[in-house]
A = this chain, B = another copy of it.
Amino acid sequence: MILKIDFNSEEALYIQLCNQIIMGIATDMLREGDSLPSVRQLADEIGINMHTVNKAYSVLRQEGFLRLDRRRGAVVALNMDKLRALNEMKQNLGIIIARGICQDVGRDEVHALVDEVFDEFSGQG
């Protein structure tokens, strides 16, 4: 699993890390029970500070994507809470769809984008 970090992005490094790992899980490159590199190891690979990786792992644990096992380090462990997930997703969809509408993006086009994303995710798996 390769993590791509954009140092020029405005997005915080730890947020990018979180997103990348979540993408990895969504595309089945990371599966329930898989171990992630240790904070030091991953920090070295990417060329960032240990604490930044640590923060990403902590956030992911808090959000229910990882478990921090003292023996095996960070392990993928999904805490399902579908109702909450749906609510959050609707909230987020609202914002980005509103932006789209302002640029004349229609309902069908959004559906098409959703399908594209799903196809790409399942294609990578």
Binding site for B on A (CB under 8 A): 7-8, 12-13, 19, 22-23, 25-27, 48, 62, 64-65, 67, 69-71, 77-78, 80-82, 84-86, 88-90, 92-105, 107, 109-111, 113-118, 120-121
A96 contacts which chain B residues (CB < 8 A)? 89, 92-93, 96
Q: How far is the CA of A81 from the CA of B11 in the complex (A)?
A: 23
B114 touching A101 by the CB < 8 A rule? no
**Closest chain B residue to A48 by CB distance?**
B71
A93 contacts which chain B residues (CB < 8 A)? 96, 110, 113-114, 117
Further contacts, 16 of them, CB under 8 A, given A26-B98, A62-B62? A22-B102, A23-B98, A25-B98, A25-B101, A25-B102, A48-B71, A64-B103, A78-B103, A85-B104, A89-B97, A90-B113, A92-B96, A94-B120, A98-B121, A101-B121, A107-B115
6 closest residue pairs by CB, A with B: A85-B103, A26-B98, A26-B101, A92-B96, A23-B98, A107-B118
